[in-house]
Amino acid sequence: MPDSARIRKLVDEYQLEVGGVHFWAPYWVNDPKLMGDAGAPNLRGAFKGKGTPEQLTLSLKRLIAANSNRPQSAADYRSLMRAHGLGIDCSGFMYHVLSGWLRAARRPSLPRQLVVNRDDILTAMQRQKSWQRGKMSEEEVRSWPQWVPMQQVCQRFHKNARMLTAVATLVHPKVVVPVERAKDIRPGDLIKLTSRQWGDHIAIVVENNGSELIIAESTEPEDKLGGVTYDQIQIKNPERGLEHQGWKRAQNYHPGDANRDGIWRLQEMTQ
C-alpha cells in the first residue's frame, strides 16, 4: 500500500462512528489558557488530548449510555465530546498517525526515534509523584546522556510515550531533517508552524501530487469545536519552500526562526 494511502487510513480513524452517525473527533488539550471560551476551560479531559480513536469512541458510548438525551447529529456528538473533555490535540493526533505509519512500513517505532532531555526527567522526578515510583534514582539518571531515547524513559518509568510527546519532541534536531523545496515533500513529512494565540502546531503531509499538497491536522477550535481535518496547499513554485506557496495558514508559518517552523522528515525515513 502506498504511504499516502496508509497515512490517509490512519487519519480517517479519527472520523468516529456512533449510532450510524459519522463525525470528526473535536480538538481538546488539557490547558485552560488554550481552550479559553472555546470549551469547558477548567475541565481536565480523561486522555489529556492524546486519546486513541478507540478510547474516544468507547468513552463517548459510555457517556451516551448514562445520558437520557441521545445526540442526533454530528455536531451534537462533537459538542458532547468537547463538553466532557474528549478530543485530540495536534501532537496526540500526530503520534497516532506517525506511529501507525511506521508500524505499517515496518520501520523502528516512534518512541525509539524520539528523545527526552535528561534534565527534564530529573525535574519531573523532583516535582511529580508519578515520576518517583519504582527503583530509579536521580544518580542513575544523571549518568545518562543529555538526550535519552523516549523508549528507554517509558520502560524505566512506566510511562506512555503518547503522553510524553509534544510538537517540540516531534521536530527535535536529533529526530528530523529539513526538507527545503515543495517538490521534494513526501507523504509523512511534518509541517511545523506557530500561531500567536495557540503556540506550536503541527500537521502531516498526506499527499504531494505536484500541484498541491494534501495535509491533515487536528486544528485549534476556530469553529469552537476544531479537530481533525484535511487541508490543501497550492504549489505555486516547486523549487521553493512553503512560505512561497498558496496556503491560507501561511501567516502562521515562519521558517528559519527559533520555533523550528519548517518542513521536517523523520531521519529514519531518509534511508
Alpha-helical segments (H) within the chain = 3-12, 32-35, 53-65, 74-83, 90-104, 110-113, 118-127, 138-142, 150-157, 161-164, 167-170
Considering the domain boundaries, does residue 97 fall inside one?
A: no
Residues 185 and 266 in one domain: yes
Share of the chain above pLDDT 90, in %: 71
**157 and 181 both lie in a single domain:** no
Residue 171 included in any domain: no
- Long-range residue pairs from 17-22, CB within 8 A, at least 24 positions apart, any chain: 17/57, 18/57, 18/60, 18/61, 18/64, 18/71, 18/77, 19/64, 19/70, 19/71, 21/71, 21/72, 21/73, 21/74, 21/77, 22/74
* Per-residue pLDDT tens over the stretch 111-149: 999 999 999 999 999 988 888 876 788 999 999 999 999
Tell me the per-residue pLDDT of 56-106, one tens digit each, with 9 for 90 and over.
999 999 999 888 778 889 999 999 998 899 999 999 999 999 999 999 999
What does pLDDT average to over the chain? 90
- Domain end: 40, 56, 91, which one? 91
* Cβ 90 vs Cβ 201: under 8 Å: yes
Residues 123 and 185 in one domain: no
Residue in this structure with the C-alpha cell 459538542, named with its chain if needed: 79
Note whether 16 and 61 are same-domain residues: yes
Residue 243 lies in a domain: yes
**Which pTM does this prediction carry?**
0.92
Q: Same structural domain for residues 219 and 248?
A: yes
Domain end call among 59, 91, 123: 91
- Assign 35 a pLDDT band (cuts: 50, 70, 90): low
Per-residue model confidence as pLDDT tens digits over 210-249: 999 999 999 987 667 889 999 999 999 999 999 999 988 8
Pair 79, 144 in one domain: no
**Domain assignment of residue 127, yes or no:** yes
pLDDT at 1: 74
Is residue 104 domain-resident?
no
As for how many domains the chain has, the answer is: 3
* 234 and 199 both lie in a single domain: yes
Identify the domain containing residue 210 by its residue range. 176-270
Q: Is residue 170 part of a domain?
A: no
Within a domain: residue 108?
Answer: no
Residue 25 within a domain:
yes
- Are residues 260 and 211 part of one domain? yes
Residues 15 and 80 in one domain: yes
Query: Where is the domain boundary, 91, 123, 151?
Result: 91
What CATH number does residue 228 fall under? 2.40.128
